[in-house]
Amino acid sequence: MVVNLQAISMMAEVLNARLERGSPAPAEFQANISKLNRLAREAVANCLKVSTWIEPGEDEGVRLAEGIDDCLSLLASNFNFRGFVVTREVTPANFQVSRATLRNLLVGSLVTLTDAAGGPSVVSLKAEVVGGLAEVTVRVAPRQDGFEGLPYEPNYRQLEWADVQALAVADSIDLVRGADHVVMRFPRSVAIAPLQIAPI
């Protein structure tokens, strides 16, 4: 959320500096105001999107690939900082899973696996539809390119596998883990919320 709001703040400072130096040309000023307006709309949209992580609304379905991308984008900065390279192989399919369940289990599994890794690693994520279920496999292996990451100590209570397993049990998800990988199987999401008429 801060990244989006920071862009607006920086643009406002630039406009303020231009005004202090003398009034810019009307066309240039109008273009800058339009850009500021666009940044504000994008910031609002992104902040609303982030807030669904904090307080999910009604459980809704999400396409498997889109849900996976949401989870990976949430962790991207942390993974880059720690030297984790993510590879993603998602079989294209119009298969929807529960957004909240996917977020809880995939993020929980990714965090737990990467925290347990000894250092910079390759995180391989594979997702496909097998036997009417979305099967998501996450595997972690040490990097072979000699990359040395910065020392890292988490500033949060590390998740344990018992935590992730409890989430899986709560949502009736089949979860199997090995020393360096985890396999999750998600059922197709079934819409239970009443249909709403879109505003005109």
Rounded distance, CA 122 to CA 29, Å? 47
pLDDT at 156: 74
Give the residue among 181, 89, 170, 184 at the shortest CA–CA distance from 133. 184
pLDDT at 56: 67
pLDDT at 192: 55
The DSSP-derived string for 117-132 is: SSSSEEEEEEEEEETT
Ramachandran angles phi, psi of 185, nearest 5°: -125, 120
Domain regions of the chain by residue span: 2-54, 61-187
Domain boundaries 61-187, CATH class = alpha beta
pLDDT at 7: 80
The DSSP-derived string for 62-115 is: EEHHHHHHHHHHHHHHHHHHHT-EEEEEE-----EEEHHHHHHHHHHHHHHHHH
Question: For each successive 10 residues of the chain (200 residues), what is the average pLDDT?
Answer: 77 83 78 85 80 72 93 90 92 90 95 89 95 96 80 77 94 93 93 52
Enter the pTM of the model: 0.74
pLDDT at 99: 92
